Amino acid sequence: MRAWIVNQPGPIGTEPLARVERDAPAPDAGQVRVKVTTCGVCRTDLHLAEGDLTPRRHGVVPGHEVVGIVDQVGPGVTRFQRGQRVGVAWLGGTDGTCRYCRSGRENLCLAPTFTGWDVDGGYADYCVADAAFAYELPDGLDDDQAAPLLCAGIIGYRALKLADVPAGGRLGIYGFGGSAHLTAQIALAQGLEVHVLTRGEDNRRLALELGCASAGGSHDEPPALLDGAILFAPAGDLVPVALRSLDRGGTLATAGIWLSDIPALVYEDELFYERRLRSVTANTRQDGEELMRLAPRLGVRATTVPYAMDDADRALADLAAGAFSGAAVLHAS
């Protein structure tokens, strides 16, 4: 099979990915093999390629928004059958025994595995996945729509829950890429007033087209104080900016796996009055299952930009350059 691997992490312009030929993997007990049809392009893939996230092993295949067809089933698997369409997401496995897993917080597992970081992901013709962590996809979601939901959607959905905005309240979204434009649609469908603060005229235009109440620059003040906010941009300098935009008791949830350094905070201006700053770490399978049911019902639609699997390196370069709005998806040859 053909696959992209992280060969030598570095700036995307230095070609950190390499296209290689490998034997197709075989599923072990409890696993399924998936013939990849579509794989979303996530900013985490870019962080991995550029070395912001250290690869867990040399030559790992990125990609954790995988849609495909089960073509082999490992011993003991009864949940899926050959020919069934499935999704493979970022959370690839947990130990199932630590105190976090036992208390329903598997996103904080002490020994997790992540697709496209610990185990090979979907920038390839085939990948294998733990059947217990794969998703059955609703018929109403085509491959291009399903792929971005498997990470961008799930993480945004969890971040929205953790931002804890009251019914009818005001939500601020900082950064407006693949995850944010899905999250905004969920928030709007739930009756929240959404204000977007992001770089890029195209992103601001998309926010307004989706029905957001306002769209300004990343460092602008929103037109009113926010009841909660989500930071999607991997820019730590926006943390104090967003905190100052919160009303009393508001929460800022940071949704990325990587964030540049946060400047010193001024307590009186940015944290006092019970403002809260919290991170979002991975997701639980319950988050994913909820979103797969919720997204079609709410009419959530990803704005997607197609690339051939052969052009995965170009897709990541375009993501780094902010060359498109919405989410890029790779199509198998």
pLDDT band at 79 (very low <50, low <70, confident <90, very high): very high
CB-based contact 217:241 (threshold 8 Å): no
Among 226, 255, 210, smallest CA distance to 166 is for: 226
Question: Strands 170-174, 31-41: parallel, antiparallel or unpaired by DSSP?
Answer: unpaired
Question: What is the reported pLDDT for 254?
Answer: 98
Residues of the chain within CATH 3.40.50.720 domain(s) are: 154-279
Beta bridge partner(s), residue 19: 4
Say how far apart CA 141 and CA 233 lie, in whole Å: 27
Q: pLDDT, tens digit, for every residue of 202-259?
A: 999 999 999 999 999 999 999 999 999 999 999 999 999 999 999 999 999 999 899 9
What proportion of the chain, given as a percentage, has pLDDT over 90? 96
Question: What is the reported pLDDT for 333?
Answer: 81
Among 85, 94, 135, smallest CA distance to 113 is for: 94
Question: What is the reported pLDDT for 97?
Answer: 97
Across the chain, the runs of DSSP E, i.e. the strands, are 2-6, 17-21, 31-41, 66-73, 85-88, 91-93, 113-114, 126-130, 134-136, 170-174, 193-197, 214-216, 226-231, 246-254, 276-279, 304-308, 327-331
Question: What is the reported pLDDT for 173?
Answer: 98
Question: What is the reported pLDDT for 44?
Answer: 94
What proportion of the chain, given as a percentage, has pLDDT over 70? 100
Q: pLDDT, tens digit, for every residue of 134-182?
A: 999 998 899 999 999 999 999 999 999 999 999 999 999 999 999 999 9
Burial 215-225 (b: 16+ CB within 10 A, else e): beebeeebeee
pLDDT band at 46 (very low <50, low <70, confident <90, very high): very high
- Topology adopted by domain 154-279: Rossmann fold (3.40.50)
CB-based contact 294:271 (threshold 8 Å): no
Question: What is the reported pLDDT for 140?
Answer: 83
pLDDT band at 292 (very low <50, low <70, confident <90, very high): very high
Say how far apart CA 301 and CA 245 lie, in whole Å: 28
Q: At what angle do helices 178-189 and 285-298 cross, to 10 degrees?
A: 70
Say how far apart CA 255 and CA 258 lie, in whole Å: 9
Q: At what angle do helices 312-321 and 43-50 cross, to 10 degrees?
A: 100
**Mean pLDDT computed over 57-75:** 97
Question: What is the reported pLDDT for 291?
Answer: 96
**Type of residue at 77:** V
- The two tokens of residue 309 are 């699997």
Residues of the chain within CATH 3.90.180.10 domain(s) are: 2-137+303-331
- Topology adopted by domain 2-137+303-331: Quinone Oxidoreductase; Chain A, domain 1 (3.90.180)
**Mean pLDDT computed over 292-298:** 94
**Mean pLDDT computed over 58-71:** 97
CB-based contact 315:41 (threshold 8 Å): yes
Please write down the long-range contacts of 202-208, taking CB distance under 8 Å and 24 or more positions apart: 202/324, 202/325, 203/176, 203/177, 203/322, 203/325, 204/176, 205/325, 206/176, 206/181, 206/303, 206/325, 206/326, 207/173, 207/176, 207/181
